[in-house]
Amino acid sequence: MKLVNGFDLMEYAKKHNYGLPAFNTTNLEMTYAIAKGLMNANLPGYIQISSNNLRLSNPEIIAQIARDAVKKSEVPIALHLDHGKSFEDVKACCEAGFTSIMIDMSALPYEENIRESRRAAEYCHFYGLPVEVELGALRGKEEDVVNEADCKTDPDMVADYVERTGCDLLAVSIGNVHGLCLNPEIDIPLLEKINRVCKVPLVLHGGSGIPKEVIWECKKYGLIKINYGSDLRKEFIRTFGEAYEENHNEHDVIHLSVDSVENVSKKAQELVTMINEH
């Protein structure tokens, strides 16, 4: 199967009541592992990569790897730009063949956030691609950026923000965090308030570490997409780290790379199955 358009993936998820995991990749091994995990589970989801991780490759390379990784898939899988940090990154990913886009201007003042997010949305809609935006901020480490502030999404701002940005998905801050060093404390009543006034599906970043029962409850209130990065990266790094600890002269890169694909794919399969058990 080809990479599917993000709008089509969301419609498929709504029809079958699926929660869609979005798994962060960095390289070839992670990309193939994510696709393998989704295919083994026979459940849909996203392969995604952030602007920061594109430093190691570029949108064209990741898109080509992703297209190859999903060609045997019988379940829909989209390729998403996560935390797009500039309009230039958005354009490059659209042109490379990404099928879903996030523009993250949450660090900007409100009016600037709206202006830049709307600019990206109008551009992506010309290509028929959905756009995710973010209102609020998450504590923790996101790539190279450490944020100690806990700025939850204000439900009183949501309707205006969604309308003026023209977005198709809204990433919210409700006590979720980036990374594995902080404990998420999900505010379900806040999510319920946001859902009542939001016209588009909701996204939860920082899925790693959130109990499955909490994810199941969140799905009742407009949540369609859950991002996972740290859980998969930990599996990738563990594969090489354990081999080095066992033998400091270990140098069999291909063997360990194949093992890392297997280990990461098992974690992806576990997570997509878990969020859709209920």
The residues that bridge with 98 in the sheet, in sequence order, are none
Q: What is the pLDDT of residues 17-37, one digit of tens each?
A: 999 999 999 999 999 999 999
Q: What is the pLDDT of residues 240-259, one digit of tens each?
A: 999 999 999 999 999 999 99
What confidence score (pLDDT) does residue 139 get? 52
- Residue 184 corresponds to which tokens in the numbers above? 């998420």
Q: Which residues are catalytic?
A: 82
C-alpha distances in Å from residue 29, one per residue of 25, 36, 65, 83: 8, 10, 10, 21
In a 3-state reduction of DSSP, which class is residue 95?
Answer: helix
What confidence score (pLDDT) does residue 182 get? 53
C-alpha distances in Å from residue 250, one per residue of 191, 201, 238, 245, 261: 48, 47, 14, 9, 18
- pTM of the prediction? 0.93
What confidence score (pLDDT) does residue 177 get? 66
What confidence score (pLDDT) does residue 261 get? 98
| Distance (Å, whole) CA 141 – CA 207 | 13
Q: Which residues, including other chains, have CB under 8 Å from residue 50's CB and lie 6 or more apart?
A: 24, 81, 82, 83, 84, 143
In a 3-state reduction of DSSP, which class is residue 179?
Answer: coil
What confidence score (pLDDT) does residue 147 get? 41
pLDDT less than 70: residues of the chain: 137-150, 177-184
| Distance (Å, whole) CA 83 – CA 13 | 22
Q: Which amino acid makes up residue 9?
A: L
What confidence score (pLDDT) does residue 183 get? 59
What confidence score (pLDDT) does residue 137 get? 67
What confidence score (pLDDT) does residue 278 get? 77
| Distance (Å, whole) CA 28 – CA 33 | 9
